[in-house]
Structures are given as C-alpha cells and as structure tokens.
C-alpha cells in the first residue's frame, strides 16, 4: 500500500507548509496542534497560499478544494493510529520532542516511520524516546516549505537503510530534492547559516552598520535573496536562538555563542514576522 496518510505535528509555519505540499501531491494529511484556534489559522494560511496558484492559473478552483479536503485537523494525537508516516514539526525544544516521540511510539503502528523536522536537535537523542530507533529519522524541510526544494535527510545512529530509502523516496514524491547529512549539531544547513545570522546580529550589536546596511551589503555583495536580519525575522528569532544554543552546547565552542542582542530581543518578545516585529516591523 505504501504511504497514503501523513500525520503532521505542529501547525505553525513549517507544519502548515509540509501539510500543504503533502496534500498538493495527493497524500491525505492529519494535522495536529494543541488547540483549535491554531489549526483554523493554519487552514486559512494554507488556503490563502493555494489561492495564489489559482489566481496564476497554475491550478483550478476545483483542485484547490480537493487539496483542502485532504487535510484533516485534530487536537488529539490518538488519531495518529491511522497514519502511515509521521513528520513532527513542533517547537524546537528537546523535552517537548522527547515527550511527543514517546507518545507517538505508543500510538502509531510499529511499522510507521517517525520523522522529525528539527533543525538542529540530535536525531539519535530523539530516537531514544522510542522502541523503534531504526525508524526515527530527520526530515528537515526548508522555510517556506512550498517554495524551497531541499530536504535535509539525517540518519540517527541506529536509523536503518530501509528507513532512509523510504524517506528519500517520499521527499522525491513531494517534489523535493533530498540530501543526506550526518547527525551532528545543526546538521549542514543551520551549522553554516545560523552562525552567519548570529554574526550579522553581532555586527548590528557592535554598531558596525545599521540593519538596513547590513542586509543591503549581504544581498548585493553576496547575491542572497534577503539579508541575514530579514531572514532571521522570517525564521523567527526564538528559533534562531534555540538553534544557536544547540550549536553552542553541542560543540562547546565560543564561535557559536548567541549574540546578547538576540537573547534580549527574544526575551522582549520581538520574534520576527510571526508577531509583527523583530529587527523590522511588519
């Protein structure tokens, strides 16, 4: 039968994007989060994004309706008894993920692969919360999911070849390009990207240049689509801080020390686009 129904935990930016892509490719989706308000907000966001494709005549209004019909929402993890595959895209907190995987291990069928969209936390560690360590793997989508083609596929210490191959094939069916990374803090994308963002925040913190100048110089000087401070706002400053903390703790190297300005902004609630204010106002 293969994978037909995908369970997704977390209806934020990443979870919503993964749900949209999966449903667009014909998979049934069960989207889970802690309350109904978050889930309804996610459905509105997905509908708005799909409508853009309708407006551009890429898909029909009937196609849009069919995509949305494939997405079912729930606040109960018990409904994951029905799924063939899981992608966890909850908040980047170690204990939260361990608790979720412990519950998923009890609820899901023993043959179901449990993937995590974590951007930095050890897959090997997450797998220890389960009795199926060979079926736990990292499936790190990039933001925004419908646009970005890459999926980092990260094996834990005990992830089986069969699990890896299944995830690679699924990523391709979702229209993505899977690329393997080893299980070290930050994997590849964020081990390189986040220190760059952190250094840009240090440059602002130390008065090297204004936020506008930093972003303009990096966009025009290194041909990036957006500046590092704009990108931090898009990702979420709390997420950036969480990833830097994982890198700093994982490598015990001062080059990964989160900038004090980043910490201060997160404490103040300036988390970026999702709250309307970060380095810029939205």
Provide mean pLDDT across the span 227-233.
98
Check residue 247 and give its pLDDT.
94
* Residue 40, in any domain of the structure: yes
32, 117, 120, 140: the active-site residue: 140
Q: Using the predicted structure, report yes or no on whether residue 1 has a pLDDT greater than 70.
A: no
The CATH number for 231's domain is 1.10.1040.10
Domain that holds residue 205: 190-274
**pLDDT at residue 259 above 80?**
yes
The answer to whether 49 is a known catalytic residue is no
Same domain, 172 and 203: no
Global pTM exceeds 0.85: yes
142 and 14 in one domain? yes
The confidence score (pLDDT) of residue 237 equals 97
Q: Would residue 107 count as lying in a domain?
A: yes
Sort 18 into a burial class: Cβ within 10 Å, 0-12 / 13-18 / 19+: buried
Does some domain include residue 221?
A: yes
Binding site membership for NAD(+): which residues?
10-15, 33, 92, 97, 119, 143, 274
Please confirm, yes or no, whether 198 is among the known catalytic residues. Answer: no
pLDDT band for position 101 (50/70/90)? very high
pLDDT category at 268 given cuts 50, 70, 90 is very high
**Residue 268 in domain:** yes
Identify the domain boundary among 182, 207, 240.
182
Q: Are 72 and 162 contained in the same domain?
A: yes
280 domain residue, yes or no: no
CB burial readout 168-204, b (16+ within 10 A) else e: bebbeebebebeebebebbbbbbbebbbebbebbbbb
Whether residues 18 and 100 share a domain: the answer is yes
* Same domain, residue pair 142 and 30: yes
Tell me if the bond preceding 52 is cis, omega within 30° of 0. Answer: no
In a domain, 155, yes or no: yes
Q: How many whole angstroms separate alpha carbon 17 and alpha carbon 241?
A: 22
Of 165, 182, 199, which residue sits at a domain end?
A: 182
Give the Å distances, CA to CA, from 56 to 16, 25, 42, 125: 21, 18, 22, 44
Residues 207 and 169 in one domain: no
Residue 279 belongs to some domain of the structure: no
Same domain, 220 and 127: no
Domain match, 48 and 109 both? yes
- Distance separating alpha carbons of residues 229 and 214, to the nearest angstrom: 8
At residue 130, the pLDDT reads: 98
Q: Which of 160, 182, 204 is the last residue of a domain?
A: 182
Residues 155 and 110 placed together within one structural domain of the fold:
yes
Same domain, 93 and 206: no
Same domain, 115 and 245: no
119, 120, 122, 198: the catalytic one is: 119
Over residues 29-71, the pLDDT tens digits come to: 999 999 999 999 999 999 999 999 999 999 999 999 999 999 9
If you average pLDDT over residues 84-95, what whole number do you get?
95
Q: Catalytic: 182?
A: no
CATH code where residue 44 lies: 3.40.50.720
Binding residues: 10-15, 33, 92, 97, 119, 143, 274
Structural domain contains residue 282: no
Set 16, 32, 122, 190: catalytic member: 190
Count of domains for the chain: 2
Same domain, 264 and 168: no
End-to-end distance of the chain based on CA atoms, in angstroms? 45
- Active-site entry in 16, 24, 32, 152: 152
Q: Among this protein's residues, is 36 annotated catalytic? A: no
């Amino acid at each position: 039968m293969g994978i037909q129904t995908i369970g997704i935990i977390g209806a934020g930016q990443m979870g919503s994007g993964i749900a949209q892509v999966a449903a667009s490719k014909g998979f049934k989706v069960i989207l889970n989060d802690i309350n109904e308000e978050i889930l309804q907000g996610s459905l509105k966001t997905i509908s708005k994004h799909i409508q853009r494709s309708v407006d551009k005549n890429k898909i029909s209004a009937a196609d849009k309706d069919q995509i949305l019909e494939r997405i079912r929402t729930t606040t109960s993890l018990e409904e994951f008894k029905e799924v063939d595959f899981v992608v966890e895209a909850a908040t980047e907190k170690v204990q939260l993920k361990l608790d979720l995987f412990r519950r998923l291990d009890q609820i899901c069928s023993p043959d179901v692969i449990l993937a995590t969209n974590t951007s930095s936390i050890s897959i090997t560690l997450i797998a220890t919360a389960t009795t199926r360590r060979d079926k736990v793997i990292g499936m790190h989508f990039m933001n925004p999911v419908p646009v970005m083609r890459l999926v980092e596929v990260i094996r834990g210490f005990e992830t089986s070849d069969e699990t890896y191959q299944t995830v690679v094939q699924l990523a391709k069916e979702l229209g993505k390009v899977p690329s393997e990374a080893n299980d070290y803090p930050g994997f590849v994308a964020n081990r390189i990207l986040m220190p760059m963002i952190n250094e840009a925040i240090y440059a602002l913190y130390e008065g090297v240049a204004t936020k506008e100048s930093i972003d303009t110089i990096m966009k025009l000087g290194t041909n990036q689509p957006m500046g590092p401070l704009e990108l931090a706002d898009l990702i979420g400053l709390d997420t950036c801080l969480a990833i830097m903390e994982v890198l700093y703790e994982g490598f015990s190297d001062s080059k990964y020390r989160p900038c004090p300005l980043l910490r201060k902004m997160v404490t103040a609630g300036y988390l970026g686009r999702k709250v309307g204010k970060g380095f810029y106002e939205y």
